[in-house]
């Protein structure tokens, strides 16, 4: 007999695994399908010469007690098993430009953030305070982010543009570029990204910044262990190639490339939205929805180069460097992370 699940989750990235675990903890029968050999999507790691390398997630914010990710990971029952290391409090990210030797720090803690940057921009202290205040105000409007409060969003803040906002805070171009220095985290596009995305991202790291000892894949491994404890199924080498509909055009399941069919009352697709549309088939979707999604410009990508350095060749550092050839913090960004021998 064909097995039926309450929920089928397509893709075992962080979003898929967290959704699956929340629902499994609620007692639902959940199954996650992943096309790759390794679970986790952007949480995947690989190793060379006894070093573990991250492919995506390499540092996390808001993991100190009482902060938002700490609350989420505690609820998901993985917090106590995570092996993490707090990054440099006076500069978890450092922004550099061309031949300028100064490393402009993004520090942990709002007061410290202002303090550290004011050393390089003494006349900008008040503007920096305004920047910090606005970030916190915007974040406070997102109830789910803070795991408390009401459910609705304040529409007005959704439309604020990142670049315009930073320009309204200071006319100092170097400081503008420093504040936008980690924009690689949201596709390097501060011209088109709403300010709330910048605020939510930067806020979590200013609260606290940690790197995962032994890489980000420990998060997916812990989530999968918990999922199995809660009775969920997780399958790899299971690429969904088609959605299944019944004679009433109701979505009833999904088929994998190998021909296996999974039935479920509801499906969560945690893969790229255009791929989801292809799997569903345009005929099943509203034209207005299709037009909106298909009109979105694709975001830029990045490529990563990994080096294993000879031992003792450079001093250890506990921060990321975002390097730009000039003060134009556009797409051309070199992001450097360092990992010690495990
Ligand atoms: C280079 C890089 C660095 C980053 N650094 C950080 C960082 O330091 N800190 C941070 O917080 N965030 C970071 N991010 C962002 C973070 O990695 C992502 O926001 C997050 O991991 C995305 O998770 P996801 O669940 O949305 O999707 P994904 O991780 O993309 O997962 C999607 C999964 O779906 C699977 N899949 C796709 N199609 C199918 C199919 N047809 N059938 C079955 N499975 C399928 C894929 O194989 C994949 O495993 C980084 C991102 C990148 C790209």
Alpha carbon of 229 to those of 29, 47, 61, 219, 298: distances in Å?
Answer: 12, 28, 27, 15, 38
CA distance 141 to 261: 42
Residue written as token pair 């410290």: 112
List, for residues 218-267, the tens digit of each pLDDT value.
999 999 999 999 999 999 999 999 999 999 999 999 999 999 999 999 99
The rounded Å distance from CA 29 to ligand 1 centre is: 24
- By the 10 Å C-beta count (0-12 exposed, 13-18 middle, 19+ buried), 196 is classed as buried
CA distance 67 to 47: 31
Beta bridge partners of 84: 212
Nearest to 193 by CA among 14, 110, 184: 184
CA distance 34 to 37: 8
Task: Decide if 14 contacts 219 (C-beta within 8 A).
Answer: yes
Query: Cβ(64) to ligand 1 under 6 A?
Result: no
Atom 15 of ligand 1: nearest residue by CA position: 57
Query: Cβ(78) to ligand 1 under 6 A?
Result: no
Q: DSSP of 25-87, one letter per residue? A: HTT--EEEE-SSSSSBGGG-EEEETTEEEESS--EEES-STTSHHHHHHHHTT-GGG--EEE-
pLDDT on residue 22: 97
Half-sphere exposure of 141 (CA within 13 A, CB side): 16
What DSSP state is assigned to residue 121? -
pLDDT on residue 342: 42
Task: Decide if 52 contacts 212 (C-beta within 8 A).
Answer: no
Structural element, H or E, at residue 96: strand 93-97
User: Given the CA of residue 61, which atom of ligand 1 is nearest to it?
Assistant: 11
Atom 2 of ligand 1: nearest residue by CA position: 56
pLDDT on residue 150: 66
Q: Which two tokens stand for residue 38?
A: 């390794």
The rounded Å distance from CA 43 to ligand 1 centre is: 7
pLDDT on residue 149: 64
Query: Cβ(180) to ligand 1 under 6 A?
Result: no
Edge-to-edge order in the sheet of strand 59-61: 59-61, 209-212, 84-86
The rounded Å distance from CA 159 to ligand 1 centre is: 25
All structural domains of the chain, each given as residue ranges with its CATH number in brackets, are 4-57+215-294 (3.50.50.60), 86-209+304-337 (no CATH)
pLDDT on residue 51: 87
Atom 32 of ligand 1: nearest residue by CA position: 13
Per-residue pLDDT of the chain (342 residues; tens, 9 = 90+): 567 999 999 999 999 999 999 999 999 999 999 999 999 999 999 998 888 999 999 999 999 999 999 999 999 999 999 999 999 999 999 999 999 999 999 999 999 999 999 999 999 999 999 999 999 999 988 888 877 666 677 777 888 889 999 999 999 999 999 999 998 888 777 788 899 999 999 999 999 999 999 899 999 999 999 999 999 999 999 999 999 999 999 999 999 999 999 999 999 999 999 999 999 999 999 999 999 999 988 777 788 899 888 888 888 899 999 999 888 765 566 777 766 554
Nearest to 176 by CA among 114, 128, 247, 112: 128
CA distance 181 to 96: 8
Query: Cβ(57) to ligand 1 under 6 A?
Result: yes
User: Given the CA of residue 36, which atom of ligand 1 is nearest to it?
Assistant: 47
Atom 51 of ligand 1: nearest residue by CA position: 56
Can you point out the beta strands (E) in 98-223?
A: 104-106, 209-212
pLDDT on residue 156: 79
Q: Which two tokens stand for residue 91?
A: 């500069």
CA distance 238 to 255: 9
Can you point out the beta strands (E) in 190-300?
A: 209-212, 233-235, 240-245, 251-256, 261-269
């Amino acid at each position: 007999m064909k097995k039926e699940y309450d929920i089928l989750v397509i893709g075992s990235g962080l979003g898929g695994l967290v959704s699956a675990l929340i629902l499994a903890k609620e007692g639902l029968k959940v199954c996650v399908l992943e096309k790759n050999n390794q679970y986790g999507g952007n949480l995947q790691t690989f190793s060379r010469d006894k070093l573990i390398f991250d492919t995506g997630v390499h540092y996390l914010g808001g993991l100190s007690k009482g902060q938002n990710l700490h609350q989420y990971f505690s609820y998901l029952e993985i917090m106590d098993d995570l092996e993490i290391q707090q990054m440099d409090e006076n500069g978890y990210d450092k922004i550099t430009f061309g031949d300028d030797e100064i490393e402009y720090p993004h520090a942990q803690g709002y007061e410290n953030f202002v303090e550290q940057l004011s050393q390089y921009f003494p006349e900008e202290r008040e503007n920096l305070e305004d920047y910090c205040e606005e970030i916190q105000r915007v974040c406070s409007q997102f109830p789910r982010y803070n795991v408390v409060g009401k459910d609705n969003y304040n529409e007005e803040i959704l439309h604020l543009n990142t670049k315009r906002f930073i320009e309204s805070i200071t006319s100092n171009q170097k400081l503008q570029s420093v504040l936008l220095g980690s924009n690689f985290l949201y596709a390097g596009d501060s011209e088109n990204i709403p300010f709330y995305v910048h605020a939510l991202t930067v806020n979590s790291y200013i609260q606290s910044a940690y790197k995962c000892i032994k890489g980000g894949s420990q998060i997916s491994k812990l989530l999968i262990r918990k999922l199995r404890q809660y009775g969920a199924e997780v399958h790899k080498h299971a690429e969904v190639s088609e959605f299944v509909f019944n004679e009433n055009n109701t979505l009833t399941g999904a088929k994998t490339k190998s021909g296996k069919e999974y039935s479920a009352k509801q499906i969560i697709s945690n893969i790229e939205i255009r791929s989801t549309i292809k799997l569903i088939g345009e005929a099943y979707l509203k034209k207005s929805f299709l037009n909106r999604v298909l009109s979105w410009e694709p975001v830029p990508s990045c490529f990563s180069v990994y080096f294993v350095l000879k031992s003792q060749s450079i001093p250890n550092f506990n921060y990321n460097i975002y390097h730009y050839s000039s003060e134009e913090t556009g797409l051309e960004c070199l992001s450097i992370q360092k990992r010690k021998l495990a």
